[in-house]
């Protein structure tokens, strides 16, 4: 028998028992008369003791064990004199009587400990060693629990998990597709799904009513930090539902996960319109763990000969409470922050509301204290507060204020990763105008339904049409998004026209869906959650890579298996592909 117990389960109650354990040598300490070894497996660490006096040959063997050797030992459980309260097995040790080396190990390229000395690339190259580290393993255990709890919850409320195909068809809408050449259909390609969107809608036409799937999706996008070319969604769709039904169902899932995985009770989720999110937070993913909302002073601040303000479309700012004592240096740093090219503000105006009630600003030349008082009232500021104000083009200023607000939130410790503030952002615009290509794009995707009361605007002012679309946002991160779908062929066709598709193109690419709508399609809608991101949020990390067993690096490479990689000429010939490099 290779083991009677695992390395995480023995305790004082097992004292005197003969046990067999197997695992990896985490660490060994040779104290002359005694050799101690920490034996590790998935479940924990158990201390082994080899005694020179009672069994010299065995002790000699133990001294030769290197880190990460795989061994099996038999011995007696004994109470430890030197207890380690940090380990569940910290009260006992095993007095070893028999040692078997199951496999040796080269010296690992980095230390297999919580705080490793291994850099990112090295850890990715030897991911199987990185995965031995307890914190990385814990991340994947969390992911497992999230998946199981999701399946339990969805199953309990009548959803069925259906697999949809991975080899599908390329469509130009959305991100770039990964394509796969077809050997049997010369010159033709499959594409990997960016999401199972059309298939889940077809499952609704088929009458499945409630579908979900924990599913891999693929997007060939330029990799921004912490994006993965393949990622996982909890993908869902329901029939005969309104937006409210969907929000309630998935509010339930969200609360279930928080409760069962994190032990955190979440109250009902607030709902905020897209318009309000932009107005008060400058962002459609507001972090509502803290207030500091954007206040506008355009009306009162104009007309005082301060050109920057007079020329501005929007003058607005935030109130950093209790920050009036910020030093010149701190304010300069904030000014540099907003002037960085990624943020692009022209400058930063501040007003100190001093403890003694006086107001002092960086634009005192133009504004009397009485004028500043009016601003302070709009900001709901009190003595001790600091107003930070930006001005310019409205949407740019809002974006910059959003960044400044998040930065101040960080500086003031208002973004505690142990606090969770989920909300729904609703009423997204249906379309987004793109200046460069001079056309509308679907803000969510082309299958999203306009709000019925806005449908008439499609002909007159498409940019104003709101969608029955919603996002789940938690702590400033978009965790999920979905919509009520179009289920009428003519409306779907019209949508494609607005998006610049010719009738032929729309038919060629999405004819299958529009045809299906002619065979009794029920009203339906759904949502998809970014599962990797959800896991990282639950795990209190910013990095989704830490929650994926075998992730790709920032250039989309798997450095462990060294992929992507060239293929043999014969493979290309078989596919009738010619490289043109
Ligand atoms: N398929 C959509 C997405 O991947 C989600 C949805 O609308 O259900 O974002």
129-167 pLDDT per residue, tens: 999 999 999 999 999 999 999 999 999 999 999 999 999
Is 274 inside a domain boundary?
no
Q: Ligand 1: which atom is nearest the Cα of residue 217?
A: 4
Candidates 391, 474, 485, 410; CA nearest to 447 is: 485
* Residue at which a domain ends, from 359, 384, 411: 411
> What is the Å distance from ligand 1's center to 405 Cα?
29
| Residues 386, 341 within the same domain | yes
Task: Judge whether 287 and 425 are in contact, CB under 8 Å.
Answer: no
DSSP 429: B
Q: Is 150 in the pocket of ligand 1 (CB under 6 A)?
A: no
Same-domain pairing of 300 and 398 = yes
pLDDT in tens, 279-315: 999 999 999 999 999 999 999 999 999 999 999 999 9
Rounded distance, CA 517 to CA 524, Å? 12
Domain C-terminal end among 411, 437, 463: 411
Residue 507 falls within a domain, yes or no?
Answer: yes
Q: Is the CB of 164 under 6 A from ligand 1?
A: no
* Residue 218 scores a pLDDT above 80: yes
Is the CB–ligand 1 distance for residue 402 below 6 Å?
no
| Whether the predicted pLDDT of 171 surpasses 80 | no
> Considering the domain boundaries, does residue 214 fall inside one?
yes
Assess contact for 80 and 91: CB atoms under 8 A.
Answer: yes
Mean pLDDT value of segment 217-231:
88
Query: Is residue 508, in this structure, part of any structural domain at all?
Result: yes
| Ligand 1 atom nearest to CA at 448 | 7
81 shares its domain with 20: yes
Same domain, 235 and 306: no
Does residue 443's CB lie within 6 angstroms of at least one atom of ligand 1?
A: no
Give yes or no: residues 406 and 330 share one domain: yes
Mean of pLDDT values over 22-35: 95
Q: How many domains in the chain?
A: 4
User: Are 561 and 567 a contacting pair, CB within 8 Å?
Assistant: no
pLDDT at residue 175, rounded to an integer: 86
Q: How far is the CA of 532 from the centre of ligand 1 (A)?
A: 15
Asked if 156 and 216 sit in the same domain, the reply is yes
Task: Give 480's strand partners.
Answer: 472, 529
Within this chain, do residues 400 and 506 fall inside the same structural domain, yes or no?
A: no
Q: How confident is the model at residue 68 (pLDDT cuts 50, 70, 90)?
A: very high
Q: How many CA atoms lie within 13 A of 55 on its CB side?
A: 15
* pLDDT confidence of residue 311: 97
When pLDDT is averaged across residues 527-531 and rounded to a whole number, the result is 98
What does the pLDDT look like over 267-281, one tens digit per residue? Answer: 999 999 999 999 999
Q: Provide the CATH number for the domain around residue 71.
A: 2.40.50.140
CA of 195 to the centre of ligand 1 (A): 7
Of the CA atoms within 13 Å of residue 527, those in its CB half-sphere come to: 29
Q: Indicate if 340 and 303 belong to the same structural domain.
A: yes
- 511 and 536 in a single domain? The answer is no
Stretch (H or E) spanning 97 = strand 92-103
Task: Tell me the residue range of the domain where 339 lies.
Answer: 290-411
Does 534 reside within a domain? yes
Report which ligand 1 atom has the smallest distance to the Cα of 447.
7
* pLDDT, tens digit (0-9, with 9 covering 90-100), for 436-473: 999 999 999 999 999 999 999 999 999 999 999 999 99
Q: What is the pLDDT of residue 553?
A: 92
Answer positive or negative: Cα dihedral of 51, 52, 53, 57.
positive
Q: What is the mean pLDDT of residues 14-20?
A: 98
Average pLDDT over residues 507-524: 97
CB of residue 429 inside a 6 A radius of ligand 1 = no
Helix/strand/coil for 339: helix
Relative to beta strand 44-51, strand 92-103 is: parallel
> What would the two tokens of residue 395 be?
């949407």
pLDDT band at 224 (very low <50, low <70, confident <90, very high): confident
Domain identity same for 522 and 434 = yes
What CATH number should be reported for the domain holding residue 236? 3.30.930.10
- The pLDDT tens digits for 347-394 are 999 999 999 999 999 999 999 999 999 999 999 999 999 999 999 999
Please give the distance, rounded to the nearest whole angstrom, from the Cα atom of residue 353 to the centre of ligand 1.
46
In a domain, 222, yes or no: yes
Tokens of 175: 């991100």
Q: Is 174 among the domain residues?
A: no
Check: CB of residue 212 under 8 Å from CB of residue 188: no
171-180, 256-265, 342-351, 455-464: range with lowest mean pLDDT: 171-180
Give the per-residue pLDDT at 222. Answer: 84
**Dihedral, CA atoms, 227, 233, 236, 237, nearest 10 degrees?**
50
pLDDT in tens, 396-430: 999 999 999 999 999 999 999 999 999 999 999 99
Query: Are 433 and 473 part of one and the same domain?
Result: yes
pLDDT at 172 over 90: no
- CB of 483 sitting under 6 A from ligand 1: yes
CATH code: domain of residue 400 = 3.30.1360.30
Among 367, 392, 411, the domain boundary falls at 411
User: Mean pLDDT, the chain, as a whole number?
Assistant: 96
- Judge whether 367 lies within some domain: yes
Query: Is the pLDDT confidence value at 550 over 70?
Result: yes
- Co-location of 259 and 141 in the same domain: yes
Largest CA distance in the chain: 93
pLDDT at 173 over 70: no
């Amino acid at each position: 028998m290779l083991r009677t117990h695992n390395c995480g389960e023995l305790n004082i109650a097992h004292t005197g028992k003969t046990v067999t354990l197997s695992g990896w040598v985490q660490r060994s300490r040779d104290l002359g008369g005694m050799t101690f070894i920490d034996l590790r497996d998935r479940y924990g660490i158990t201390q082994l003791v080899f005694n020179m006096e009672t069994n010299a040959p065995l002790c000699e063997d133990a001294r030769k064990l290197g880190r990460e050797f795989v061994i099996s030992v038999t011995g007696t459980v004994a109470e430890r004199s030197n207890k380690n309260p940090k380990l569940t097995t910290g009260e006992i040790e095993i007095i070893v009587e028999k040692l078997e080396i199951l496999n040796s190990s080269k010296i690992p390229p980095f230390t297999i400990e919580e705080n490793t000395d291994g850099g990112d690339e090295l850890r990715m190259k030897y991911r199987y060693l990185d995965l031995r580290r307890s914190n990385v393993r814990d991340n994947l255990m969390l992911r497992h629990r999230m998946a199981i709890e999701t399946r339990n919850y969805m199953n309990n409320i009548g959803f069925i998990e259906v697999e949809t195909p991975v080899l599908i068809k390329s469509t130009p809408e959305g991100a770039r597709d990964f394509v796969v050449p077809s050997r049997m259909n010369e010159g033709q390609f499959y594409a990997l799904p960016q999401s199972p969107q059309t298939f889940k809608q077809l499952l609704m036409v088929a009458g499945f009513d409630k579908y979900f799937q924990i599913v891999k999706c693929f997007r060939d996008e330029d990799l921004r930090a912490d994006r993965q070319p393949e990622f996982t969604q909890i993908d869902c769709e329901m029939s005969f539902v309104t937006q409210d039904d969907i929000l309630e169902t998935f509010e339930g899932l969200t609360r279930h996960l928080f409760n069962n995985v994190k032990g955190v009770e979440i109250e009902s989720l607030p709902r905020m319109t897209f318009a309000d999110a932009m107005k008060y937070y400058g962002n459609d993913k507001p972090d509502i763990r803290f207030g500091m909302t954007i206040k506008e002073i355009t009306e009162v601040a104009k007309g005082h000969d301060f050109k920057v303000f007079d020329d501005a479309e929007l003058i607005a700012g935030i109130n950093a409470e209790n920050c009036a004592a910020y030093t010149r240096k701190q304010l300069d740093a904030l000014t540099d922050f907003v002037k960085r090219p990624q943020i692009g503000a022209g400058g930063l105006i501040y007003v100190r509301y001093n403890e003694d009630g006086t107001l002092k600003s960086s634009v005192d030349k133009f504004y009397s204290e009485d004028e500043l008082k009016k601003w302070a009232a709009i900001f709901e500021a009190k003595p001790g507060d600091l107003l930070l104000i930006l001005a310019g083009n409205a949407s740019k200023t809002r974006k910059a204020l959003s960044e400044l607000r998040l930065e101040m939130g960080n500086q003031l410790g208002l973004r505690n990763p142990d606090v969770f503030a989920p909300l729904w952002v609703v009423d997204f615009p249906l379309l987004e105008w793109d200046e460069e290509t001079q056309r509308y794009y679907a803000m969510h995707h082309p299958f999203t339904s306009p709000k019925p009361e806005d449908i008439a605007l499609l002909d007159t002012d498409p940019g104003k049409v709101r969608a029955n679309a919603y996002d789940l946002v938690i702590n400033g991160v978009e965790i999920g998004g979905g919509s009520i779908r179009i289920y009428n062929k003519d409306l779907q066709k019209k949508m494609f026209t607005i998006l610049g598709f010719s009738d032929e193109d729309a038919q060629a690419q999405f004819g299958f869906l529009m045809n299906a709508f002619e065979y009794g399609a029920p009203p339906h809608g759904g949502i998809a959650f970014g599962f990797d991101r959800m896991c990282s949020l639950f795990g209190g990390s910013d990095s989704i890579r830490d929650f994926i067993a075998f992730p790709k690096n920032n250039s989309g490479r798997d450095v462990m298996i060294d992929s992507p990689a060239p293929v043999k000429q014969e493979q290309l010939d078989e596919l009738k592909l010619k490289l043109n490099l």
